[in-house]
Chain A
Amino acid sequence: MAAPSEERTGLQNAVYCAIASALLEYLRDCETRGAFEFVDLTPFAKEYCQEFGVGPEDVLWVAQTLATPTEARWPGGSTKATSPLKKLRRGHSYMLDRVGRELLAYVAGYFRWVHAGAEARKLITDLENGDMESFRDVAQRILTKIRSELFDLRQLKEQPEVTVLQQSFIAQSGRFIKTFVEVSRVVGEAQGQLRNPTTVRMLQGWAEVNEVEVEDVLGEANDTLTRLASANAVLHRLVADFVAEVQSRQRSLVGVIGFDKAIDRFLRLRSAAPEIDPGFLEEIMDKTGPVSFPGLEFNPLELRNIVAKRVRSEPTVRQRIRREKIEPKLDRVDAFVARNREVILRMLEAGPVSLSQFLAADETDDPDQALNNYDLDLLIEMATVFFSPYVLRLDDQMKTKCLRFQVGEETVWTLKDGWTLRGPELLMELAERNV
């Protein structure tokens, strides 16, 4: 019995090519929607393998093939930068490489892709012809182009060596500058087009066919252009940074460090070496390593977890819920009156009481006449009983009695706590109510 062929059947027909193209487009879409990031292709493989009638491993194999560089040689040079994808060392996470982006541009029918600026002119053509679908596509493509230039630019800028930095500036800065100059010109023109009555008429035609309001279409076009302009502004800023960097960098940045050698050296340090001092190492680790986690201790938002830890109640018989009688809290004058009502009534029943007597009542030795004023802030608050006698709530207790007031001579009261009260003397008297 012959062993089954181990060759991948997809190689015979164009299935793998189709998978590769779908894969590149999927990764481009991921970049357009999200960040410049490695994307895990396992879900993609699971979803698409059914469509192509292959196993998920085949899809991943295609991805891996696309991420494998091969050397291309020509007279006078060679390059290894030929793989459309970049792969993370572990797992199945990929992202587009520069080659892959260029490949997509070619596949999309843009053989004469020069730079984003040339593309951007199509925006105006689309607006003039009232073709919003194409407008969206082109705008998205320019956005992708600008963003991938940002990506390239940042990588160029971070190169440590001064000479490499300068060379890449000379070789590549032109295309970035061209992009932002031309895109910003086109965005301006395109926004002008949106005010042009002919263009608006064309867009109105498109809106009617697609059953939307023309204002919405104009708004969307304007939003798209604004987004392009802001992406362009970021590119502008980064190019400016790049120029400044090329001019100002005096010395190389820190390059590739031989940490492996550093480890070997560290492990074989002798006891006389100054680097073995734990305090010295602690200081280094403190700077570059984790500088502790201050928030764990000091964040007031989390203090409650430290100060009062929730203690789980023991599983016992269910406790009956205790209902406590809630007593309303009294105002302090009310509390004063409640506490001294009996004394005050006794005073009143003994005869007319003057304000002077009343204010001095806390000093008397006679326990029947003494007023307890400890819950008052100021002694003067005792006078409230005279100025608003309803606080006595006489009606609740003596239905047949009422209070009668008399105004006396001008008097000055100097109270113990330093307050002075001036006014006519008041005389309060308990009297029979005349019904």
Chain B
Amino acid sequence: MDFERIGQVQSFLLRHRAIYSKAPSYRRLLDGEAEAAEAMRLLREEEHEALASLLRGAAGYDIHEFRDDMQGIPQGGYAWVAVTAATAPPTPVLSMDKAWEGLAIHSQEPRAVTIYWFTFLWLLLLRLFYEREGRALSQVSQYVQAVVVRTELEERVTEKLEALRQDGVGTDDDAYPVAAALLHAGRDRNTTQTDIRNRVSRFLDILTKARLIERYGEDEGEARWRQSLLCAVQVSELFSAGLIHLVPLDGMEREIASYTHSKSVEVSNGADE
């Protein structure tokens, strides 16, 4: 086994989470990406297994391979993405600390406020990526049309916060902690438009660093951001492991109904025999 090659691929995947063998039209290959792709392609079966277990052990990642039949991968190209496994235990090596540090707009901001902001922005982004396009979470390949610009996200944030203000929800800090945290996160206990712009830019920056979104050209001077293949696979794989808890119950009921329905059919089939 060639551990040098395995190590090369492993370190690249840990750092960048995705390897493309050919550059997509909207970006160039990263430093060392072509070499990592070549090393990956040359891995023998047992080396591949070794790499998979190394990644699983170090960071709880599973490798998914895609070829050019997946949208967005150039002809004759390959892509590998390292997706967090649903069953992987949390690893001590990885933490969200960097993300929280990046999102907080001042150093004294309570951790809870940052986390609420992140959850809020993440759900909004998913709404633009999925719900607005009428796209199911399983439709991974449609990530090529999930595109947003910063102003869209900003407008949505403003709308939501404005609705909260009108409802008068944020006035009582103790009764509605999330609303209060979002409305009073600014410097003078008031979230201004500047704060929102600042927050959204930081959020997009974090997601870009984590390779979950990619810069995709421009639209009238504004940078466009597109969901990455990694993000699409990850959300589709892990929705039921976490995000599902934040989705209102009627969605859950449908989920559960579809599940119990198929189960009951199985049972009755067994009874007939």
Whether the pair A276, B236 counts as a contact (CB closer than 8 A) is no
Cβ-defined contact, B119 with A281, below 8 A: yes
Do the beta carbons of A154 and B96 come within 8 Å of each other?
A: no
Q: Does B5 contact A (CB under 8 A)?
A: no
A283 touching B242 by the CB < 8 A rule?
Answer: yes
Of B86, B130, B179, the contact of A268 (CB 8 Å cutoff): B179
A268, B176: Cβ atoms under 8 Å? yes
The one of A256, A266, A268, A291 that contacts B84, using a Cβ cutoff of 8 Å? A291
A61 on interface, CB distance cutoff 8 Å: no
A276:B177 contact, CB within 8 angstroms: yes
Contact A259 B139 (CB under 8 A): no
Task: Tell me which residues across on chain A come within 8 A of B246, comparing CB atoms.
Answer: 262, 265-266, 275, 284
Inter-subunit contact B15/A295 (CB<8 Å): yes
A287 within 8 A of B: yes
Interface string of B156-167 (1 = CB under 8 A from A): 000010001001
Is A252's beta carbon under 8 Å from chain B?
Answer: yes
Contact with B along A47-79 (1 / 0, CB 8 A): 000000000000000000000000000000000
Nearest chain A residue, comparing its CB with the CB of B11: A299
Task: Say if the beta carbon of A255 comes within 8 Å of chain B.
Answer: yes
A262/B248 contact (C-beta < 8 A), A158-B141, A270-B175 known: yes
B210 close to A290 (CB less than 8 A): yes
Measured CB to CB, the nearest residue on chain A to B32 is A301
- Asked, given contacts A155-B139, A251-B259, A257-B251, whether A295 binds B98 with beta carbons under 8 Å apart, the answer is no
A250 and B182 contact, Cβ closer than 8 Å, known pairs A93-B217, A281-B119, A294-B94: no
Residues of B within 8 A of A (CB): 11, 14-16, 24-25, 59, 67-75, 77, 84, 86, 90, 93-99, 111-112, 115-116, 118-120, 122-124, 126-127, 130-142, 144-145, 147-149, 152, 160, 164, 167, 169, 174-179, 182, 206-207, 209-210, 212, 217-220, 224, 234-236, 238-243, 245-248, 250-251, 254-255, 258-259, 261-262
Q: Are B242 and A287 in contact (CB under 8 A)?
A: yes
Q: In the assembled complex, which residues on chain B have CB atoms less than 8 Å from the CB atom of A39?
A: 25
Contact across chains for B210 and A259 when beta carbons are under 8 A apart: no
A283 to B243: give the CA distance in the assembly, Å: 10
Whether the pair B210, A291 counts as a contact (CB closer than 8 A) is yes
Contact B99 A258 (CB under 8 A): no
* Given A160-B136, A162-B258, A289-B210, 5 further pairs, Cβ under 8 A: A147-B68, A266-B119, A268-B176, A269-B176, A280-B245
Query: Complex formed: what's the CA distance from A235 to B241 in Å?
Result: 32
Q: Across the interface, do A35 and B14 meet the contact criterion of CB distance under 8 Å? A: no
**A253 cross-chain contacts in B, Cβ below 8 A:** 136-138, 236
Smallest CB–CB gap between B92 and chain A, Å?
11
Distance, CA A93 to CA B224, complexed state (A):
11
User: When the two chains form their complex, are residues B206 and A290 in contact, meaning their CB atoms are under 8 A apart?
Assistant: yes
Stretch of A84-92, A317-325, A419-427 that contacts chain B: A84-92
Contact residue among A35, A40, A270 (Cβ-Cβ distance under 8 Å from B71):
A35
Q: Is the interface of B mostly helix, strand, loop or mixed?
A: helix
Q: Is the CB of A254 within 8 A of B115?
A: no
Q: A259-B126, A301-B11 are in contact. Are A34 and B145 (CB under 8 A)?
A: no
A148-B259 Cα distance, complex, nearest whole Å: 33
CB distance from B103 to the nearest CB of A (A): 10
Check if A256 sits within 8 Å of B160, measured CB to CB. Answer: no
Residue A374 CB within 8 A of the other chain: no
A282 within 8 A of B: yes
Q: List chain B residues, Cβ under 8 A from A255.
A: 136-138, 254
Q: Contact: A263 with B174, CB < 8 Å? A: no
Report which of B243, B251, B258 forms a contact with A258, defined as CB distance below 8 A.
B251
For residue A13, CB closer than 8 A to chain B, the reply is: no
Who on chain A is nearest to B209 by CB? Answer: A293
Is A159 at the interface (CB under 8 A from chain B)? Answer: yes
Q: Does A111 contact B (CB under 8 A)?
A: no
CB–CB B71/A154 < 8 A: yes
Most buried by B among A159, A263, A276: A263
- The smallest beta-carbon distance between A77 and chain B, in angstroms, is 21
User: Measured between alpha carbons, how far is A264 from B247 in the docked complex, in Å?
Assistant: 10
Indicate with 1 or 0, residue by residue over A91-124, a CB within 8 angstroms of chain B CB atoms. 1010100000000000000000000000000000
CA gap between A278 and B110 in the complex, in Å: 11
CB contact between B96 and one of A159, A235, A261, A285 (< 8 Å): that residue: A285
Query: Can you pick out 19 interface pairs between chain A and chain B where the beta carbons lie within 8 Å of each other?
Result: A35-B75, A88-B147, A234-B67, A235-B69, A252-B258, A257-B247, A261-B251, A270-B175, A283-B90, A284-B245, A285-B96, A285-B99, A287-B238, A288-B234, A289-B212, A291-B59, A292-B95, A293-B15, A298-B14
Contact partners of B86 in chain A: CB under 8 A: 287
Task: Please tell me which one of the listed residues A95, A261, A266, A284 contacts residue B120 in the complex, with CB atoms under 8 A apart.
Answer: A266
In the assembled complex, A26 has its CB within 8 A of some CB on chain B: no
A44 is an interface residue with CB less than 8 A from chain B? no
User: B235 to chain A: which residues have CB within 8 Å?
Assistant: 288
Tell me which residues across on chain B come within 8 A of A292, comparing CB atoms: 94-99, 210
Task: Please give, as numbers and ranges, the residues of chain B lying within 8 Å of A257 by CB-CB distance.
Answer: 126, 130-131, 137, 239, 247, 251
